[in-house]
């Protein structure tokens, strides 16, 4: 199987990716997940791993954000919505997608580090791919609730231009991803 990797505008490529989200996270599945009811940001860019016919096999969203770390403004990027079609898992596609996301951020030049959120059982998957657990506190915004502590999912960080902090307080200054 030959694969193609594309980095596309987040909103414009959403129709290509929506079927993958709908298949993996339909509303009835999301309702039983820890992050049910949380409002998430929309990706600015998307890494798509496609087969030769253009079918989307794997996705990773990229979210550019000016956050505050211990009160200081820092340009970072979120990575989220890492999904591989159920029948194409365990072939390295998410690894390819994550590497492409980190490479994209390195080329942007203004991104200091990346932040990703995942369920605790996924932590080993990401730490095996260069992410480190973030042991500090994370705050995010939610509609009608304002700024809230975001501890539903575990935070991980990845170096990009600078060494990512693993402690302290990150205020996402917006919706989580």
Taking the least distance from each CB to ligand COA, the nearer of 50 and 161 is 50
Give yes or no for a contact between 155 and 170, defined as CB atoms under 8 angstroms apart: yes
Minimum CB distance to ligand COA, residue 101 (Å): 12
Q: Does 128 bind ligand COA (CB under 6 A)?
A: yes
Find out whether 155 and 169 touch, Cβ atoms under 8 Å: no
Any contact of residue 91 with ligand COA (CB under 6 A)? yes
Q: How far is the CB of 106 from ligand COA (least distance, A)?
A: 20
Binding of residue 93 to ligand COA (CB under 6 A): yes
Stretch that binds ligand COA, among 38-46, 88-96, 107-115, 162-170 (CB under 6 A): 88-96
Give the footprint of ligand COA on this chain (CB under 6 A).
24, 58, 82-84, 89-95, 118, 122, 125, 128
């Amino acid at each position: 199987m030959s694969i193609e990797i594309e980095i596309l505008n987040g909103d414009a490529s959403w129709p290509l990716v929506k079927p993958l989200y709908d298949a993996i996270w339909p509303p009835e599945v999301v309702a039983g997940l820890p992050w049910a009811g949380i409002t998430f940001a929309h990706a600015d860019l998307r890494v798509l791993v496609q087969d030769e016919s253009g079918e989307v096999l794997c996705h990773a969203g990229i979210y550019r954000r000016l956050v505050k770390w211990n009160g200081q403004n820092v340009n970072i990027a979120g990575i989220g919505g890492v999904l591989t079609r159920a029948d194409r898992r365990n072939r390295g596609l998410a690894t390819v997608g994550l590497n492409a996301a980190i490479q994209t951020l390195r080329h942007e030049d203004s991104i200091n580090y990346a932040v990703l959120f995942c369920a605790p059982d996924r932590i080993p998957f990401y730490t095996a791919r260069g992410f480190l657990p973030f042991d500090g506190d994370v705050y995010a915004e939610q509609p009608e609730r304002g700024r809230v502590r975001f501890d539903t999912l575990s935070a991980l960080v990845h170096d990009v231009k600078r060494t990512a902090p693993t402690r302290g307080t990150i205020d996402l200054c917006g919706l989580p991803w």
